[in-house]
């Protein structure tokens, strides 16, 4: 009998921001802590993420092409493709080619369509990226837009008040019709309770809708969406069900926010992942998902 490595490998296509725990600096520690090998494919190199007042930005589109060509010629194989913040609209084509060339039928493709938050595009994000992202989600098994990104992908006007379950279910289904079997929408306000926030999800396989609701703390930390989707990716690769993955990701993100919230601190630095990474190896404590 041959003893072969059981470690699964995920390509993480995100920027490398050298300050603030976003993108690769969230995905790498989280996925590694969950027992997965991460192969980073950096999309851009920044001095810090774009919510700081100033940042440097090096677009790595050409280098990505060279890295992928090198991987192809050496026959490297991956079990999952996980994309986040892309450095230029042209990169979407590069990423689509990567997925089409490397993906095998059992592989997982997760697209976090990073575009903006609170009803606005991130600084420097071009409108053309929205167009391109609408194409990229067609190749995904799982997408994880926040509310802002959901409305951008659907080409609808942003709203965040008074969104009822039935209306959200239509939007989730509409996004799934474009390609991804699983659609997860984060940061949905709970009507009448500013202290709560929900995650909604739809799985076309089984035609079921899920909701996880957890406490909302009045602070904004960049990178929480990256942490959330990294846990979803790790959890699904470990073989968890969708509702369990939702619970694990919501709980981890909340733990990260809670462990950071009490400090005098510049929120731009993101959640203190270092304090909560080890929780990824303990069983889920409270299960809170609902079927809706
Ligand atoms: O967390 C999303 C994100 C990723 N990468 C960069 C960002 C942001 C959000 O601001 O600026 C560079």
Neighbouring residues of 148: CB distance < 8 A, sequence distance ≥ 6: 115, 116, 117, 118, 119, 120, 158
Q: Identify whether 1 is part of a domain.
A: no
Q: Identify whether 86 is part of a domain.
A: yes
Q: Identify whether 152 is part of a domain.
A: yes
pLDDT digits (tens, 9 = 90+) for 34-58: 999 999 999 999 999 999 999 999 9
Interior angle at CA 253, CA 248 and CA 255, nearest 5: 95
Could you identify the atom of ligand 1 that is nearest to the CA of residue 50?
Answer: 11
Ligand 1 atom 7: residue of nearest CA: 49
Q: Which two tokens stand for residue 31?
A: 């996925």
Question: Which residue of 48, 87, 114 sits with most ligand 1 atoms within 8 Å of its CB, as the best mutation to test the pocket?
Answer: 114
Q: What is the pLDDT of residue 285?
A: 77
Question: Any idea what the CATH number is for the domain that residue 45 is in?
Answer: 3.40.1190.20
**Domain total for the chain?**
1
Owning domain of residue 40: 9-291
Q: What is the pLDDT of residue 113?
A: 98
Is the CB of residue 68 below 6 angstroms from any atom belonging to ligand 1? no
Share of the chain above pLDDT 70, in %: 100
Residues constituting the chain:
292
Spacing, Cα 50 to ligand 1 middle (Å): 6
Spacing, Cα 84 to ligand 1 middle (Å): 9
Q: Identify whether 170 is part of a domain.
A: yes
pLDDT digits (tens, 9 = 90+) for 209-268: 999 999 999 899 999 999 999 999 999 999 999 999 999 999 999 999 999 998 999 999
Closest CA to 200 of 180, 236, 173, 222: 173
* 111 beta partners: 83, 143
Q: Is beta strand 182-190 parallel, antiparallel or unpaired with respect to 142-143?
A: parallel
């Amino acid at each position: 009998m041959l003893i072969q490595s059981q470690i699964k490998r995920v390509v993480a296509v995100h920027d490398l921001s050298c300050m603030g725990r976003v993108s690769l600096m969230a995905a790498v520690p989280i996925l590694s802590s969950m027992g997965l090998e991460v192969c980073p494919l950096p999309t851009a190199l920044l001095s810090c993420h774009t919510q700081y007042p100033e940042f440097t930005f090096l677009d790595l589109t050409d280098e990505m092409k060279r890295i992928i060509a090198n991987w192809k010629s050496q026959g490297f194989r991956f079990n999952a493709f996980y994309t986040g913040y892309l450095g230029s609209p042209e990169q979407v084509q590069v990423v689509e080619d990567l997925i089409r060339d490397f993906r095998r039928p059992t592989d997982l493709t997760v697209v976090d369509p990073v575009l903006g938050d609170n009803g606005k595009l991130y600084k420097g994000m071009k409108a053309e990226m929205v167009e391109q992202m609408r194409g990229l989600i067609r190749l995904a098994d799982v997408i994880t837009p926040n509310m802002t990104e959901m409305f951008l992908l659907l080409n609808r006007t942003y709203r965040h008040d008074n969104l009822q379950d039935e209306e959200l279910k239509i939007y989730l289904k509409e996004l799934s019709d474009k390609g991804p079997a699983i659609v997860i929408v984060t940061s949905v306000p709970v009507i009448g309770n500013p202290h709560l926030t929900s995650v909604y999800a739809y799985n076309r396989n089984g035609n079921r809708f899920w909701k996880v609701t957890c406490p909302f703390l009045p602070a904004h930390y960049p990178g929480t969406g990256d942490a959330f989707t990294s846990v979803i990716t790790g959890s699904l690769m470990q073989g968890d069900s969708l509702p369990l993955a939702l619970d694990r990701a919501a709980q981890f993100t909340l733990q990260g926010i809670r462990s950071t919230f009490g400090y005098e601190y510049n929120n731009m630095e993101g959640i203190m992942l270092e304090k909560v990474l080890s929780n990824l190896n303990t069983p889920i404590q409270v299960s809170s998902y609902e079927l809706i």
